[in-house]
Amino acid sequence: MVSSTKSKSHPGRRPLVVGNWKMNGTRASSVALLAALRAEEPFGSEVSVCCPYPYLADVVLSLQGSGISWGAQDCSHLDPGAHTGDVAAVMLTEFGCRYVIVGHSERRVHHAESDQRVADKARMALAHGLTPIVCVGETLDERVAMLTESIVKRQLSAVVHTLGHCVSQIVVAYEPIWAIGSGLTATPEQAQAVHSVLRAQLAAASTLAGEMRLLYGGSVTAANAHALFAQPDIDGGLVGGASLKANEFSAICRAATGAALESPGKLKT
Ligand code: PEP
Q: Is 17 in the pocket of ligand 1 (CB under 6 A)?
A: no
Diameter of the chain by CA atoms? 51
Instruction: Please give the pLDDT value at position 11.
Output: 59
User: HSE-up of 195 (CA within 13 Å, CB side)?
Assistant: 32
Does 267 map to a domain?
A: no
Q: With contact defined as beta carbons under 8 Å apart, do 237 and 217 qualify? A: yes
The Å distance, Cα 249 to ligand 1 centre, comes to 12
CATH number of the domain encompassing residue 42: 3.20.20.70
Q: Is the pLDDT of residue 259 over 50?
A: yes
The Å distance, Cα 240 to ligand 1 centre, comes to 3
Terminal-residue alpha carbon distance, the chain: 24
Instruction: Please give the pLDDT value at position 1.
Output: 37
Using a pLDDT cut of 70, give the percent of the chain over it. Answer: 93
Report which of 58, 48, 159 is spatially closest to residue 99, judged by C-alpha positions.
48
What are the two backbone dihedrals, phi and then psi, of residue 34, each rounded to the nearest 5 degrees? -70, -35
Q: Is the pLDDT of residue 124 over 70?
A: yes
Q: Is 176 in the pocket of ligand 1 (CB under 6 A)?
A: no
Q: Is 75 in the pocket of ligand 1 (CB under 6 A)?
A: no
Q: Tens digits of per-residue pLDDT, 39-93?
A: 999 999 999 999 999 999 999 999 999 999 999 999 999 999 999 999 999 999 9
Q: Closest ligand 1 atom to the C-alpha of 180?
A: 10
Does 1 map to a domain?
A: no
pTM listed for this prediction? 0.95
The Å distance, Cα 72 to ligand 1 centre, comes to 15
Does 23 map to a domain?
A: yes
**Burial of 59 per CB tally in 10 Å (0-12, 13-18, 19+):** buried
Instruction: Please give the pLDDT value at position 6.
Output: 36
Q: Is the pLDDT of residue 152 over 80?
A: yes
Q: How far is CA 93 from the centre of its chain?
A: 18
| 234 backbone φψ class: left, alpha, beta (φ>0; ψ -120 to 50) | beta
Does 7 map to a domain?
A: no
The Å distance, Cα 180 to ligand 1 centre, comes to 5
Does 141 map to a domain?
A: yes
Active site annotation includes 104? yes
Report which of 111, 107, 106, 89 is spatially closest to residue 98, judged by C-alpha positions.
89
Q: Tens digits of per-residue pLDDT, 223-254?
A: 999 999 999 999 999 999 999 999 999 999 99
Query: Can you tell me the distance from the alpha carbon of 19 to that of 244, in angstroms, rounded to the nearest whole number?
Result: 8
Does 8 map to a domain?
A: no
Q: Is 238 in the pocket of ligand 1 (CB under 6 A)?
A: yes
Domain containing 106: what range? 16-261
What are the two backbone dihedrals, phi and then psi, of residue 16, each rounded to the nearest 5 degrees? -130, 130
**Burial of 84 per CB tally in 10 Å (0-12, 13-18, 19+):** exposed
The protein residue whose alpha carbon is closest to atom 3 in ligand 1 is 240
Q: Is 173 in the pocket of ligand 1 (CB under 6 A)?
A: no
Using a pLDDT cut of 90, give the percent of the chain over it. Answer: 90
127-147: average pLDDT: 98
Q: Closest ligand 1 atom to the C-alpha of 217?
A: 5
Cis peptide before 42 (omega within 30 of 0): yes
Q: Tens digits of per-residue pLDDT, 176-226?
A: 999 999 989 999 999 999 999 999 999 999 999 999 999 999 999 999 999
State the CB neighbour count (10 A cutoff) for residue 111.
10
Question: Confidence class of residue 19 from pLDDT cuts 50, 70 and 90?
Answer: very high
Instruction: Please give the pLDDT value at position 261.
Output: 85
The protein residue whose alpha carbon is closest to atom 4 in ligand 1 is 240
Instruction: Please give the pLDDT value at position 10.
Output: 61
Does 2 map to a domain?
A: no
The Å distance, Cα 221 to ligand 1 centre, comes to 10
Instruction: Please give the pLDDT value at position 7.
Output: 46
Does 169 map to a domain?
A: yes
**Total structural domains within the chain:** 1
Query: Can you tell me the distance from the alpha carbon of 95 to that of 113, in angstroms, rounded to the nearest whole number?
Result: 25
Q: Is 248 in the pocket of ligand 1 (CB under 6 A)?
A: no
Active site annotation includes 175? yes
Q: Is 224 in the pocket of ligand 1 (CB under 6 A)?
A: no
Pick from 180, 185, 252 the residue to mutate for probing ligand 1's pocket: most ligand atoms within 8 Å of its CB. 180
C-alpha distances out from residue 4 to 11, 131, 175, 211, 263, Å? 13, 23, 20, 10, 11
